[in-house]
Structure 1
Amino acid sequence: MKKNAQLYTKPLSKTVGEQIINADNSSVLELSKELIVNLFCAQGLLLFRGFEADVETFIKFSNELSTNFMDYTGGVFKRKVINGNSTLLSVNDFKDEVKLHGEMYYQKNIPLMLWFFCANPPSQDGATIVCDGKLFFDKLSDLLKDLFSRKKLKYRRHLERDAWRERYKTDELDVVEQICKNNDTHLQVNEDESIDICYIYPAIHLSRTGEAMIFINSLLPAMAISPDVISFDDGTNIDNTIMSELNEIAEKITVEIYWQKGDILMVDNTRIMHGRRAFADDKRDLYIRLCSPAFSY
């Protein structure tokens, strides 16, 4: 562990992230925001550990470094609202594994930054997994680098009326049409008021600094959970050979975070992919906030 002015830090792993440790019995609210920003810009993933934060502290701390909070409208998973705050959401509505992904990469308007808070850790299993999308891209074979530079991903979904009302948090098709327009998503409204949506997006992206290519998308969980919703933009299937290579890379570079009560995780959603291991118990209680950084980098 090293002292970086007011921050005591140590690497989260050999490949990604940094931990900020409470070595002097301080509050996370007392930490230097300037030093946090500098470290976050360099690392893309920060774990704040040992500060015994509660939910109120987590909200205040994340508010100080964030802007443009999102309420998960358009999101594919169910998210329970916590304490009546539509920007504080549960990630425990189901217990299955979720493979590495960028949050909401099946639409144009993504949260640029994520916050996670551990209200209560699981008794076992349920680790959050992360990896650096730059490292993922570097590990791709030349064939896949070329393939993903030429072909984009096509995400498509058929939603019955009740399903789109829940997903877009509205009863009005006019509102859905505007949301889809803002997200460059093609919308087809059917006679029975079901809808079909289609969004085309790249699997690889230029980093925010313009210095590197990043592999970040929703391909791995989509293929694991609902393979019929995703293909290449020319309509061709994403075959098992491609997915085998991607899943092999993912397992080699995945870092597991075993939660402790009060942990706070700060994630660059333009660079760092995340997911989780499956779990069985009901004690795991994690919350997420979706936002943009209130600073430039």
Structure 2
Amino acid sequence: MHEVSAQLHAESFSETFGQKIINTENENISIVDLDKESIINLFRSHRLLLFRGFEADVETFTKFTDELSTNFMDYTGGVFKRRVINNNSTVLSVNDFKDEIKLHGEMYYQKNLPKMLWFFCAHPASEDGATIVCDGKRFFNELSNSLKELFSRKKLRFHGHLDKDVWIKRYKTEDLSVLEQICKSNDTQLRVNGDESIDLYYISSAIHPSKNGEDMVFINSLLPGKVIAPESISFDDGSEIDNQIMSELNEIAERITIEINWHKGDILMIDNSSVMHGRRSFTDDKRDIYIRLCSPAFAY
């Protein structure tokens, strides 16, 4: 741990990424009064920041994130149900269900995805329910040479079949022409069936170059997709992503996963281009975590 100021300390999550910004002494300091340039520089270096020990509610969370972010998204096209908080369509609850969600990049099943994520802990679970994170650069480096070669040759193909009432909720429109435009902007192939159900097809790489172009990053929606809807994902040539492949990926994921056990008022800032996230299962109905999807309001 090293001192950032008289009241704040920074503590590393790991050798490769992540910092905790901890308010240890000053109960009166507000998170919105922290030096924004210092936060930006830390984020550029570490790609994941956890702010802990600050008095924060959803209004404070919204104000703080507004000052560092732009291009907020309302989760149009997202696969989970998310409750709107405080009538703000860009502040959403993530507690649709209580099962584990494996490591993934947010919305990597479409082209238009958030570059940055914010999480806020309104109320932690009494036990379990940790958010999990991992460094996508390290994940790529841990892949066997055969998997690195495989993912460099083959992309992922996502397929979804949605009944009319489902796609209306997911895409927030009843107008097929609007839906067609949304899909076109996301490089998603759309097929409308006779009953107005739809089939969607999207192709994306499982690996991506880092922002500086010096590293490769494993970040995608493969791991949870194979659990939640295994028939929806294959390679782009139609071949199966078999159990041997998934076994290696899941072994790496568990080995390099970092758990974040929430404290009330915690705020988490994540680079969605290189850091994957997920969560452990939980049973506590009072667990209440919010998310915002956006882009950085600074060069990054």
Per the normalisation by structure 2, the TM-score is 0.97
**In 1, Cα distance between equivalents of 2:113 and 2:212:** 18
Deviation of the 1:13 alpha carbon: 3.6
Per the alignment, residue 216 of structure 1 pairs with 219
For residues 200-226 of structure 1, what are the alpha-carbon distances to aligned partners after superposition, in whole Å with 9 as ceiling and x for unaligned?
000000011211100000000000111
Deviation of the 1:86 alpha carbon: 0.1
Question: Match for 1:175 among 171, 175, 178?
Answer: 178
Q: Does 1:92 align with 2:95?
A: yes
**In 2, Cα distance between equivalents of 1:287 and 1:169:** 20
For residues 239-297 of structure 1, what are the alpha-carbon distances to aligned partners after superposition, in whole Å with 9 as ceiling and x for unaligned?
00000000000000000000000000000000000000000111110000000000011
Q: Does 1:3 align with 2:6?
A: no
Q: What letter is aligned with 2:32?
A: L
Question: Match for 1:262 among 261, 265, 284?
Answer: 265
**In 2, Cα distance between equivalents of 1:118 and 1:16:** 21
Deviation of the 1:10 alpha carbon: 0.8
Asked if structure 2 preserves the Cα contact closer than 8 Å seen for 1:114 and 1:267, the reply is yes
**In 2, Cα distance between equivalents of 1:8 and 1:63:** 24
Q: What letter is aligned with 1:90?
A: S
For residues 144-198 of structure 1, what are the alpha-carbon distances to aligned partners after superposition, in whole Å with 9 as ceiling and x for unaligned?
0000000000001011100100110111111110000000000001111011000
| Mapping for residues 60-209 of structure 1, pairs under 5 Å | 60-209=63-212
Q: Secondary structure at the match of 1:170?
A: coil
Aligned-pair RMSD on alpha carbons?
1.0
**In 2, Cα distance between equivalents of 1:141 and 1:38:** 33
Q: Does 1:42 align with 2:45?
A: yes
Q: Does 1:22 align with 2:14?
A: no
Q: How many residues align?
A: 297
Structure 1 runs of 4+ aligned residues shifted over 6 Å read none
- Residues 1:52 and 1:12: Cα distance change in structure 2 (over 3 Å): farther
Q: Does 1:242 align with 2:223?
A: no
**In 1, Cα distance between equivalents of 2:63 and 2:255:** 36
**In 1, Cα distance between equivalents of 2:288 and 2:181:** 34
Asked if structure 2 preserves the Cα contact closer than 8 Å seen for 1:90 and 1:287, the reply is yes
**In 2, Cα distance between equivalents of 1:158 and 1:282:** 30
Deviation of the 1:4 alpha carbon: 2.6
Q: What letter is aligned with 1:92?
A: N
Asked if structure 2 preserves the Cα contact closer than 8 Å seen for 1:15 and 1:253, the reply is no
List gaps (5 residues or longer) in structure 2. Answer: none
Q: What letter is aligned with 2:18?
A: G
Per the alignment, residue 55 of structure 1 pairs with 58
Deviation of the 1:15 alpha carbon: 4.6
Q: Does 1:271 align with 2:269?
A: no
List gaps (5 residues or longer) in structure 1. Answer: none
Percent identity of paired positions between Structure 1 and Structure 2: 69
Per the normalisation by structure 1, the TM-score is 0.98
**In 1, Cα distance between equivalents of 2:42 and 2:214:** 18
Question: Match for 2:231 among 228, 231, 241?
Answer: 228
**In 2, Cα distance between equivalents of 1:260 and 1:15:** 24
Asked if structure 2 preserves the Cα contact closer than 8 Å seen for 1:12 and 1:47, the reply is no
Deviation of the 1:28 alpha carbon: 0.7
Deviation of the 1:5 alpha carbon: 4.9
Q: Secondary structure at the match of 2:44?
A: helix
